[in-house]
Amino acid sequence: MFIYLARKCAGVIPTIVGVVIVVFILFHWVGGDPTYQMLGRHASIQQIEELRHEYGFDQPTHIQLFNHLKQVITFEYGRSYATKQPIRQMILNGLGPSLSLMLPSFILNAIIAISFGLITACFQGYWADRLIVSFCILGMSVSILAYILFGQYFLAYKLGWFPISGYEEAWNERLRYLILPISIYIAVSVGYDVRFYRTAFLEEVTQDYVRTARAKGLSEFQVFFKHILKNSMIPILTNIIMEFPFLVLGSFLLESFFGIPGLGSITIDAIHNSDFPVIKAMTILVAILYIAGNLVIDLLYAWVDPRVSLK
């Protein structure tokens, strides 16, 4: 395990360096000179040169690339063009609100989706299966904007069950602001996950070990929860880990519409203001999380399935 982990980590380093280089090319060559966006069209040549020198845009390309790699390693991305705040501090400040929204949403969605996926697989072809799948398709067909507008207008404004938007640092106050966006996230996401897990479970139902377990007299509950669920963990873990980066970034639309000052809201504001350092930092952060997620998946495969060998 240690040798495998060391080898995988060694292979991850070139991948991260490649991602950093691609991001550098996109933002520094394709994206153009940001000084004109920061100063406007009527800036003088002297102002442009001073700003380019302040941010190091007048340095050779290889020096800028080296500084870019250094920023990724040290997690020091400089200051935001728009707010002048340190980007590192902005990310740390936004991490709490994003996790407060996405972590409960993620856990509840996974529990609900796996449970209903098992129910639909267990009662395949029966009315319960058809009803749940129909609701899943209906939920997937509705845009997240429709859920947000319905929740804010009818549930929050008309009925007054929830605040329309806002966020509080105190946990006892924070919860009532998060219930509605968490519910909307689950309503949007659970349909796809239920159908995905249902397919994974149905692939295991036809296996020989399931027929053997039933022939031994095991109940359907034991067959599904002790055997089928256990042997379906590889696709389940893959789906769960691949959603992990969104725990940090949060949902852009939910944070924007509900006034939650998380990383998603910070990213949306950065896009509106052409705040390239913030966008660049978020892009690299998500890429690194995806790479780390793939590494974690490989290790979990061997943990849940002894047939997988780490070579």
Q: What is the pLDDT of residues 112-142, one digit of tens each?
A: 988 888 888 878 778 888 888 888 888 888 8
In a domain, 82, yes or no: no
Residue range of the domain that includes 38: 2-74
Indicate the pLDDT class of residue 38, thresholds 50, 70 and 90.
Answer: low
Instruction: Answer yes or no: do 11 and 103 share one domain.
Output: no
| Counted domains in the chain | 2
In a domain, 221, yes or no: yes
Give the span between the Cα atoms of 142 and 126, in whole angstroms.
25
- Kindly tell me if the per-residue pLDDT of 185 is higher than 80: yes
Instruction: Answer yes or no: do 55 and 99 share one domain.
Output: no
In a domain, 311, yes or no: no
Least-confidence region, from 22-26, 35-39, 298-302: 35-39
209 vs 153 pLDDT, higher one: 153
Which candidate, 167, 181, 204, 160, places its Cα nearest to that of 108?
Answer: 181
Indicate the residue among 29, 46, 74 that finishes a domain: 74
Q: What mean pLDDT is reported for the chain?
A: 79
Would you say the C-alpha torsion 72, 78, 83, 88 has a positive or negative sign? positive
The pLDDT score that the predictor gives to residue 305 is 64
The pLDDT score that the predictor gives to residue 37 is 65
Indicate the residue among 16, 43, 74 that finishes a domain: 74
Instruction: Answer yes or no: do 184 and 247 share one domain.
Output: yes
Instruction: Answer yes or no: do 96 and 61 share one domain.
Output: no
The pLDDT score that the predictor gives to residue 203 is 80
Instruction: Answer yes or no: do 121 and 260 share one domain.
Output: yes
Please report which residue ranges of 123-170 form alpha helices under DSSP H: 127-141, 144-150
The pLDDT score that the predictor gives to residue 247 is 67
What percentage of the chain carries pLDDT values higher than 70?
88
Helix axes 276-304, 2-25, angle to 10 degrees: 160
In a domain, 165, yes or no: yes
Indicate the pLDDT class of residue 41, thresholds 50, 70 and 90.
Answer: low
Indicate the residue among 74, 95, 121 that finishes a domain: 74
Instruction: Answer yes or no: do 44 and 156 share one domain.
Output: no
